[in-house]
Amino acid sequence: MENLKLPNDYTAQTEQVKEKDSKKFLKLVTIVSTFGGLLFGYDTGVINGALPFMARPDQLNLNPFTEGLVASSLVLGAAFGSIFGGRLSDNKGRRKVILYLAILFFFSAAGCVIAPNTTIMVAFRFLLGLAVGGSSVVIPSYLAEIAPADRRGMLVTQNELMIVTGQFLAYIFNAVIGNVFGDAGHAWRYMLVIATLPALALWIGVLILPESPRWLASKGKMADALKILQKIRSESIAQQELKDIKAHISEKQKIEKISFKDLRKPWIRRIVVLGISIGSISQLVGINSIMYYGTQILENSGFGTKTALIANVANGLIAVVAVIVGMSLLNKVNRRPMLLTGLTGVTIALITIGISAFVLTGSPMLPYVVLSMTVIYLAFFQGAIGPMSWLILAEIFPVRLRGIGMGLAVLCLWLCNFLVGLFFPILMDTVGLSGTFFLFALFGIVGIIYVAKFLPETRGLSLEQIEANFKRKS
């Protein structure tokens, strides 16, 4: 009888080993693919410390407008990258597009390093933005499609964590390079060249990435999809998941997509306007003024360049901690009150910075007050507004409205991000630190009123229930 049990024991052990190996491989795939998120974070954060050196007369000799152009050209590129990245990956495949993005990250980052003047710098920053925008769409989609259902939320939000980690690393390297090579005007080139290393790692790492099994199945390549699933799942789960994918594709083909003509319907228009408003408000409260110009804000308040670079690391650290805390609260707290708490926190921090810059002008206390308020601002934004905005956008659009609705909302989000990045140095030069932050606070107040009045609670509701609620109220 004991001999008869051996094959069963052997099969069970083999299944356990295979499951362990598939989890290891999935973990490796997640780490490699989220290097795109790390690059996203580093390339958006590095400009924070590079600009003061880049702006010097013996370097690129930037004025307030060209400073804004250098910082925001990446964001304008990202707006286009987010539009075309998703469509390209639908046609060419997720893996192939991630490879294209890695190549674009590497060469555009290298182009920024060797840029001899502002025009070439802006051109390469725009190309870098195409890679950033593409990765912001393709990598979360890839992770969502390759992750098991019970780990999808954790793996997809890991990309968000890698973005803020990339920004944090940028602030650390900025501080080190700025203090070691600060007397050399070209220190900014050393800061920028570091971005080529994770781009190279992603480029090499793509070689081990499998294609998304869902994309393969959508193209009718069921045998290839099963092979990939068998590498990242146990055999029984792989077979069942392929059946579920086939059923989902069949169901999706029956769904009638909504077009621009349907925006005349009040309930559809209401959802789209809500999505655009949430996306826009999340940027107009000025988050990227701190992410892109944090060093200059601290300089303007009274710190020296080298001290400001070191102090700015605190902003990067709190952003990472706040995202981790925010991720842990996503499924425990209602969406609406969490977003309202975040907006209230950032608005109070913005008003405090505005009043302090007005009242404490020339005081040695001012830089420390501004630093503490930017830390509080980032805690509320990265812990609540950032994750909640993306989650709400993902939830309010029904499946048949997601393409057009999400596209418009994300486009407006990137464009508002671009406007903040472009005009912040001009605002600082014309109305000063106090006036600039009062303007951001005004958008915060508008956001609080709008969310309190128009945003319904979506936690615990299915997409069908959310759609029904919008129809009922229109």
144-171 pLDDT, tens digit each: 777 776 666 666 667 778 888 999 999 9
The alpha carbon torsion through 409, 410, 412, 414 (nearest 10 deg) reads 160
**End-to-end CA gap in the chain:** 70
User: Whose CA is closest to 214, among 98, 101, 97, 89?
Assistant: 89
Query: How far is residue 413's CA from residue 469's CA, in Å, rounded to a whole number?
Result: 25
- Other CB atoms within a 10 A radius of the CB of residue 334 amount to 12
Angle, CA 353 vertex, CA 348 and CA 354 arms, to 5°:
95
Query: How far is residue 293's CA from residue 424's CA, in Å, rounded to a whole number?
Result: 8
Give yes or no for a contact between 426 and 65, defined as CB atoms under 8 angstroms apart. yes
Give yes or no for a contact between 259 and 392, defined as CB atoms under 8 angstroms apart. no
pLDDT score of 112: 95
Write the pLDDT tens digit of every residue in 101-129.
Answer: 999 999 999 999 999 999 999 999 999 99
Query: How far is residue 248's CA from residue 257's CA, in Å, rounded to a whole number?
Result: 15
Tokens of 24: 């290891």
Q: Which amino acid is at 390?
A: W
pLDDT score of 2: 47
Tokens of 55: 């702006």
| Cα Dmax for the chain | 88
DSSP, collapsed to helix, strand or coil, labels residue 208 as: helix
The alpha carbon dihedral of 411, 416, 420, 426 has a sign of positive
Tokens of 269: 């228009």
Which portions of the chain are predicted below pLDDT 70?
A: 1-21, 149-157, 252-260, 399-400, 402-403, 462-464, 474
Collect all residues with Cβ–Cβ distance below 8 Å to 116 and sequence separation of at least 6.
none
State how far Cα 3 lies from the chain centre.
56
Q: What is the pTM of this model?
A: 0.82
pLDDT score of 366: 93
Give yes or no for a contact between 222 and 246, defined as CB atoms under 8 angstroms apart. yes
* Residue ranges with strand state E in 35-158: none
Q: Which amino acid is at 96?
A: K
Q: Which amino acid is at 181?
A: F
